[in-house]
Amino acid sequence: MAAPQRFWLLKTEPTAYSLDDLKRDGRTGWGGVRNYQARNLLRDELKPGDGILFYHSNAEPPGVAGLARVTRGGHPDPTAWRKGDVHFDPASTPTRPVWFQVEIEFTERFPRFVPLEEIRACHELQDMVLLKRSRLSVQPLEKHHFDRIARMGRRTSTGSARPAEAR
């Protein structure tokens, strides 16, 4: 597969759906997002091959558990028209969908979970959306954010132990 073109952070509560669940499933539809800004990103911006930081929110501790990638771009979120589903929204229909999802697949589980605290402490990562508008559940990332956190998760560098002048 071609190298990822763009990079995203997707948030999930691991009690609802964790990276281990994605590893087990292989692929999943990333649906149930009910925020317009996040919806617009899912619908218009995420493309097959894009890289994903898989973030566990409301977890102890919160942080990035590993990587995934987009396998299918924006398409209607079927959970919106499933009656009884917690994400059911009568305003969305198959002919006029309101909510969108993408399909993602498991890439890797970091040997070392990267806690939010460590991201906060890293000078290179201060401009991440995560640290500025933390509530958005689909966030754009710079490539250097993605690469940096992947390195942290793979232990080749801890960030905080690296001399500041080396940056």
Binding site for DNA (CB under 7 A): 11, 13, 34-37, 57-59, 61-62, 116-117, 120, 132-137
Cβ contacts of residue 17 below 8 Å, gap of 6+?
Answer: 28
Nearer to DNA, 104 or 116 (CB): 116
Place of tokens 């605290």: 117
Cβ 166 to DNA, closest distance in Å? 26
Nearest-CA neighbor of 71 among 39, 97, 106, 38? Answer: 106
Distance CA 126, CA 78 (A): 36
Nearer to DNA, 49 or 100 (CB): 100
Cβ 59 to DNA, closest distance in Å? 6
Cβ 116 to DNA, closest distance in Å? 5
Distance CA 110, CA 89 (A): 35
Nearer to DNA, 60 or 165 (CB): 60
